[in-house]
Structure 1
Amino acid sequence: MRNKIELKFPPDALFMNPWVDPGFSVLARPEFVWRPMPRTIIEGFPASAHEEMNRKITSFLGVVKKQKVFRKALEFSAVPAVLEKASFRKSYVMASDRLLLSGAAGTRLINRYRWENEDTEFDVDMTLDAYLANCREQNRSRQLPLHSGGLSPDIPFAVECRNTFNFYHFLTEALPQLTLLDGLDFRGNIYFHFPNAEEKHRPFTEAFVETLFPEFAGRVFFERAPKDYERVITAYDFLGGHAQLPEAMLEGIASFAPATVQQEEDILHTRFNANLAMNSVSTMLLKLRSRALAAIEGQEFPHLPKRFFVGRDSRQSRDRHMAGEDQLFEHLSLFDFEYVVFENLHPIEQIALMANAEMMISYHGAGFANMLFANPQAHVIEIGTLQTAQFRWGDFWPLANAAQCRYISFFADFNSEDPLIEPHFAKDSIVPVAISEPAVAQIMAFVVSVLGHVPELNSVNALGRLSRELLQAGSADRAVAVLERHGPLVTEDVELCLLKADCHKDLDEPKSELVALDKAFKADPSRWQTLVRIIWCANRCERPQVIRWAVSRLRSDFPERHAAFVKNHEWVRYIA
């Protein structure tokens, strides 16, 4: 029962405020708490065999883009902290009888508190938000306490683990914490504490520690929680405890958030935790990536493929094989793809495989955590479902942003009796994926186009879908190649002409964009919007004669639109 945590108490009696409460100090203050970093290309596309499901997927993706995608990714810092009277319970950390909000564990702790108190008389979200707001007010003029006095040379470093059988949680949450020991001349033992039964413990945990942190050989131990310490060093991640930070430290975050976020305070609401986490990257994760890439530097791995499909060894991971996998791989093998199982590779090979990858393809699973090691030119393609889009997609965004690779997802069907019935996550967990023949064709068209080939397409819809996917995935040049190969279809369709113009605009080719816009207007002269776009593009190309023609046509065909445009853009008068 020592492992049990009772969460029915008020937040101020449960959670630690590191700025105020005793038992917490940091070994060093951070150079920064958060800062913006480039956001990589992360895109998702519907690939169901059923239009009803495709509409649901499309609707969900639209909401994500509008309400959840930040303009920039955010890097959050972390520091080594000293805890007094510490206790590692389940997958949480306590100091002086209070729970520490830090990293992914802190986010899970807040969520668990909400779930366990959702049927209480008080509004749990309002109660939590009020507590966190009070912390921010208390901490307004404070700094985190800096540890003073000496530390025993054998003081341990302890890591809380979500579990030691899920590759994703260990690689992204637990293992990165060891990077905080860099430069500390740490001489003590390291303990990973996990809540799962020992028979579920998996050897990949030790293998990755030994590979990436050889300097700690003989000093790393895995012990089941609970475990108490009089004094211990652990990681303090500002993400997870961000809502307790003095507000001045968070100033500016809202400027990178979706338009639905009006002010910094909105980001600090507990209901926004998942949204912030999916757009954020821990400094520890970036340090782990750097350490991993340094471990393979100068080595050759000629036996590893650059194009590969990742399958599973059901003896070592959950059996969620994808229906249609054989058919997809049969097509992939024609383009030099090989079949790989991460579990059968040494950690150094897994790192090298991703670091040198041209393209990885697989169905949803924890193996996508290896995306952390991908090179920035790699395409990492995931095949999932509406369910994985809703409940798991955002978990992998930080890895894509850390690697700066292109993370592309195709959301197909459920491998179930009725693929139109959405599973209940709490009851059904993650339902395996099924891909239909049309989905295989859709995915293969995208794959071969990215690899430099041009598939033959016989319909406007298929051509438009592929070209839009390529454009959104950052491959506008490949979209242009596909559209130009299908010239007759493009010329007759205004939407394809406009799509080609969008591709040239993305490639910063205004003259080619202008040509495509001209074809778009010829394909459908009833669109005044095309004329307006021609005016702007011609102005950029310094083509006054084209501007005069477009303005004249706007005046004759759309007089009301012409009057409004000229009124708002007087510079046109001097050209026209």
Structure 2
Amino acid sequence: MLKATVSMGKSNAEPFFFVPGANGKFAIVSDDENIEPRYVERANLLSVIATENTVHNRLLHGFITNYRDFRSAEKCVELRSFPALVKHYSFKKRMPRCGGALLMSGASALRVRTKLFKDMGDKKAQRLLQDESEKARHRSNQKLPVISTDDFSKDSSLPFVIECRNFYNYYHFTTESMIYLQMYRDYALSGDIHFLTGGTSEVQPYLLRAVEDFYPDLFDKVSFLTGGTRYKKAIIPFNTNHLYHCSDSTVMKDIEEGAGFSNNLKDGDLRPETTENYRWIFRNSRDEYIQRHRDDVLKRTYVHEGSRYVYVSRKQGASRQRSVVGEDALIEMLSRYGFDVVQFENMTPLQQASLCHSVDILVSAHGAGFTNMLYGKPGSSFIELSHLQTARHRFGDFNMHASASGVNYTHFFADHDVGESDEVPNLHHEGHAGISISERVLQKLELFIASLVQKDEQKKFFSRIEGLRRKEDHATLISVINLDTLRSAVCPRTVGFLAEAYEKTEMTQEALKAYSTLVSLVPYRADLWAKVLELAEALADEQTVSWALEMSESYRRARWMRWCRTEHGAIAIQG
């Protein structure tokens, strides 16, 4: 258990966290001393809320609205990373320390925070974090120690020590650890490479194969170590994300206005060391070595032979969780649009990367395999099947991968595989819930796929419908639409034309039914709720009037979605 030995409020207390520059035990390797973050293109995030659970539907609309209004940014902050020469470095019980104080860097900083909150309690841990970071920001000798590459050359053969969450999760290993092998190359390091974790599990073969596939020249230098380790002197990868909270603008310039954070954040607002501020930066940033790793891996990939449309299924028995209920029907539907079915478990990491860089559309359930979106080609579509539990606990995990690759990253929200309960499964107690794809949810996914695959056919269909509408040939329009069982069921634009035609031919009951279907598809449209109310009142349908009044109000905050709907029906999430 971590115990805070720091004396709160006393300026002469020993620091609980290691502060680069406070002593001679740390120096980054750089020739220009420039540690300023860069601003790059953000992830292109889209959402399709297809869940049939009405409670979850409202919650997801609220979640996406909150993300857009309070958690997004106009640019992705690319944070700099450097090799750091450290003295008296240790790693024990998952905690990296330098000179005995906790060293906060990269993803390990989040794990340190998590353990602090678990061991000390929320209030005490938060106070410690804020007090320590504030003291660090107000140091009189704010300067990050730097050593030139020439001066560093005599130490380049020291062990290169990389912290890992564990030795089995492909997402964490790739995103937080393996990317720094490219740093090893960039700075011409020559020592042994030590991947460290506090766990006791054996390294999984696919992680070994990933190193061998992507860094074959370094494979023989790599060791995977568990348990406690100490180094009198070593080299570590140092990411500047946590440094932002422990420094002022003389060390790292403010990022809030440059990145265009939502909610009108001003420069310096994210400096305080709070959990929310940390997460805010995490969701809208990436390590520069995410991009450098991608660029090098793509030099090794090849053109994958096969369909440009792919569904990634899970090998039976590969995971006890995250089943896809209705997968047979899903695969049958996708096969009609030319999709191949693959399983990443049967492919090497290089084969997975090559596949992802070759495809135009990839569909898969949420999971570590989505890390391969990092290798996708710009403009391709990666569609993640998930649900409300994933949104609450894992939303944003792959933003950095989508930002680096330039793909269109769509969150397709279906239902949990727990029946009709309105309760959201507890991730920490019950694990990852599986995904349930009902017939209607499948129709919504098919419509989205068709809009991507059959653009010419879709254009012809709407050209014909709009022509009939201009001619006011309502009878033919109604007939043509009703013959198209997919669009007449789940396409808002089509159902809108149908409802309008029914209304103009004074088929009021049919019009009300069509408008009711329409608002179930686009519940953020206040004008359509008004139309439902008008028709329901004309028919003296008090039940529908009551329903429409309640639902219209519950979706009020999501009305912005009307102006953020893309041509293929997804909602562009970020403002």
The Cα of 1:414 is off from its aligned counterpart by 1.2
Change (3 A) 1:432 1:260: farther
TM-score (norm 2): 0.76
**Alignment match of 2:242 (pick from 240, 244, 251):** 240
Q: Is the 8 A contact 1:310 1:341 kept in 2?
A: yes
> C-alpha separation between the residues in 1 aligned to 2:97 and 2:381?
41
**Residues 1:129 and 2:130 are matched in the alignment:** yes
> C-alpha separation between the residues in 2 aligned to 1:87 and 1:313?
39
Question: In the alignment, which residue of structure 1 is the partner of 2:254?
Answer: 251
> C-alpha separation between the residues in 2 aligned to 1:74 and 1:63?
20
Q: Is the 8 A contact 2:447 2:491 kept in 1?
A: no
Partner secondary structure for residue 247 of structure 1: coil
**Residues 1:281 and 2:286 are matched in the alignment:** yes
For residue 281 of structure 1, what is the amino acid of its counterpart?
Answer: R
Question: In the alignment, which residue of structure 1 is the partner of 2:74?
Answer: 71
**Residues 1:349 and 2:351 are matched in the alignment:** yes
Question: In the alignment, which residue of structure 2 is the partner of 1:184?
Answer: 187
**Alignment match of 1:389 (pick from 391, 402, 413):** 391
Give the 5 Å matches for 1:264-343: 264-270=268-274, 271-296=276-301, 299-302=302-305, 304-343=306-345
The Cα of 1:459 is off from its aligned counterpart by 12
In the TM superposition, what whole-angstrom CA distance separates every residue of 1:371-414 from its partner, at most 9, and x where no partner exists?
10011121100111111001102111111111111110111211
Greater RCO (CA < 8 Å, at least 6 residues apart): 2
* Greater Cα offset, 436-445 or 448-457: 448-457
> C-alpha separation between the residues in 2 aligned to 1:241 and 1:458?
60
Change (3 A) 1:457 1:59: farther
> C-alpha separation between the residues in 1 aligned to 2:90 and 2:161?
10
Displaced runs of 4 or more, over 6 A:
462-468, 490-494
In the TM superposition, what whole-angstrom CA distance separates every residue of 1:252-309 from its partner, at most 9, and x where no partner exists?
424511115344233544221112101101101111100111112xx4432x432111
Question: How much identity, in percent, do the aligned residues show?
Answer: 23
* Greater Cα offset, 89-98 or 157-166: 89-98
In the TM superposition, what whole-angstrom CA distance separates every residue of 1:326-377 from its partner, at most 9, and x where no partner exists?
1111100111111111121112111111111111111111111111001112
* Greater Cα offset, 222-231 or 378-387: 222-231
The Cα of 1:245 is off from its aligned counterpart by 2.7
> C-alpha separation between the residues in 1 aligned to 2:481 and 2:433?
32
Partner secondary structure for residue 192 of structure 1: strand
Question: In the alignment, which residue of structure 1 is the partner of 2:196?
Answer: 193
> C-alpha separation between the residues in 2 aligned to 1:464 and 1:395?
35
The Cα of 1:114 is off from its aligned counterpart by 2.8
The Cα of 1:491 is off from its aligned counterpart by 7.9
Cα-Cα RMSD: 3.2
> C-alpha separation between the residues in 1 aligned to 2:101 and 2:438?
51
Q: Is the 8 A contact 2:381 2:410 kept in 1?
A: yes
In the TM superposition, what whole-angstrom CA distance separates every residue of 1:3-24 from its partner, at most 9, and x where no partner exists?
xx62443396421001213321
Change (3 A) 1:143 1:223: closer
> C-alpha separation between the residues in 2 aligned to 1:467 and 1:276?
36
For residue 259 of structure 1, what is the amino acid of its counterpart?
Answer: N
> C-alpha separation between the residues in 1 aligned to 2:166 and 2:415?
29
Partner secondary structure for residue 383 of structure 2: strand
Partner secondary structure for residue 246 of structure 1: coil
Q: Is the 8 A contact 2:303 2:358 kept in 1?
A: no
Question: In the alignment, which residue of structure 1 is the partner of 2:374?
Answer: 372
Q: Is the 8 A contact 1:162 1:169 kept in 2?
A: yes
Partner secondary structure for residue 62 of structure 1: helix
Q: Is the 8 A contact 2:284 2:399 kept in 1?
A: yes
Question: In the alignment, which residue of structure 1 is the partner of 2:113?
Answer: 110
Partner secondary structure for residue 188 of structure 1: coil
In the TM superposition, what whole-angstrom CA distance separates every residue of 1:115-168 from its partner, at most 9, and x where no partner exists?
332266x5x424322321221221664233437566345311111100111111
Change (3 A) 1:228 1:50: same
For residue 128 of structure 1, what is the amino acid of its counterpart?
Answer: L
The Cα of 1:60 is off from its aligned counterpart by 1.2
The Cα of 1:318 is off from its aligned counterpart by 4.7
Q: Is the 8 A contact 2:315 2:343 kept in 1?
A: yes
For residue 266 of structure 1, what is the amino acid of its counterpart?
Answer: L
Question: In the alignment, which residue of structure 2 is the partner of 1:552?
Answer: none
Change (3 A) 1:354 1:236: same
Change (3 A) 1:416 1:428: same
> C-alpha separation between the residues in 2 aligned to 1:151 and 1:493?
82
Q: Is the 8 A contact 1:254 1:264 kept in 2?
A: no
**Alignment match of 2:204 (pick from 186, 202, 205):** 202
For residue 76 of structure 2, what is the amino acid of its counterpart?
Answer: A
Question: In the alignment, which residue of structure 1 is the partner of 2:521?
Answer: none
Question: In the alignment, which residue of structure 2 is the partner of 1:512?
Answer: none
The Cα of 1:451 is off from its aligned counterpart by 1.4
**Residues 1:38 and 2:37 are matched in the alignment:** no
Q: Is the 8 A contact 1:376 1:405 kept in 2?
A: yes
Partner secondary structure for residue 335 of structure 1: coil
Question: In the alignment, which residue of structure 1 is the partner of 2:219?
Answer: 217
Partner secondary structure for residue 85 of structure 2: strand
**Alignment match of 2:85 (pick from 82, 98, 120):** 82
TM-score (norm 1): 0.76
In the TM superposition, what whole-angstrom CA distance separates every residue of 1:39-58 from its partner, at most 9, and x where no partner exists?
23202232112222211111
Question: In the alignment, which residue of structure 1 is the partner of 2:5?
Answer: 9
Q: Is the 8 A contact 2:321 2:431 kept in 1?
A: no
Change (3 A) 1:267 1:322: farther
Question: In the alignment, which residue of structure 2 is the partner of 1:506?
Answer: none
Q: How many residues align?
A: 476
> C-alpha separation between the residues in 2 aligned to 1:411 and 1:439?
9
Question: In the alignment, which residue of structure 2 is the partner of 1:515?
Answer: none
**Alignment match of 1:169 (pick from 172, 177, 180):** 172
> C-alpha separation between the residues in 1 aligned to 2:255 and 2:208?
40
Structure 1: unaligned runs, 5 residues or longer = 469-481, 497-519, 527-576
Q: Is the 8 A contact 1:212 1:292 kept in 2?
A: yes
Change (3 A) 1:338 1:153: same
> C-alpha separation between the residues in 1 aligned to 2:245 and 2:488?
44
Change (3 A) 1:241 1:293: same
The Cα of 1:425 is off from its aligned counterpart by 2.6
* Greater Cα offset, 62-71 or 239-248: 239-248
Q: Is the 8 A contact 2:2 2:119 kept in 1?
A: no
> C-alpha separation between the residues in 2 aligned to 1:135 and 1:465?
59
